[in-house]
Amino acid sequence: GAGVSQTPSNKVTEKGKYVELRCDPISGHTALYWYRQSLGQGPEFLIYFQGTGAADDSGLPNDRFFAVRPEGSVSTLKIQRTERGDSAVYLCASSLTSGGYGYTFGSGTRLTVV
């Protein structure tokens, strides 16, 4: 597509539920990134994919968070047993290659856990 697409744009869920957030990167971009932005903060790194594999998942806060990119294109961020502290905007970005040239971000998914 023309840009990075994230769905849904907004998600409200109850504490303890499971959620999936989807990212469709720019066609041909091999690198894909997930960031989380809490209120009043800058984006914080969660995970980086190069192709199908998670090259760096060091930013995932705990084992309730998991992400996949099975065919090297669309990625899904999965959060189990959601907590109120998971409420944030989840940003996806992609780039043609990794490193140094800047990303293209999606519009984000605003997750609210009530």
Partner 1 sequence: AQRVTQPEKLLSVFKGAPVELKCNYSYSGSPELFWYVQYSRQRLQLLLRHISRESIKGFTADLNKGETSFHLKKPFAQEEDSAMYYCALSGSGTYKYIFGTGTRLKVLA
Binding residues (CB under 8 A) for partner 1: these are: 3-4, 31, 33, 35, 40-45, 48, 55-56, 59, 91, 95, 98-108
End-to-end CA distance of the chain: 33
- In the complex with partner 1, the residue whose CB is nearer, 6 or 82, is 6
**Residue 86 main-chain phi, psi, to 5 deg:** -80, -10
- In the complex with partner 1, the residue whose CB is nearer, 28 or 101, is 101
Q: How far is the CB of 81 from partner 1 (least distance, A)?
A: 27
- Looking at residue 11, what DSSP letter applies? E
Q: How far is the CB of 101 from partner 1 (least distance, A)?
A: 8
Tell me how far apart the alpha carbons of residues 3 and 13 are, in angstroms, rounded to a whole number: 27
Q: How far is the CB of 6 from partner 1 (least distance, A)?
A: 9
- In the complex with partner 1, the residue whose CB is nearer, 20 or 56, is 56
Cβ count within 10 A of residue 12: 12
Asked if 35 contacts 45 with a C-beta cutoff of 8 angstroms, the reply is yes
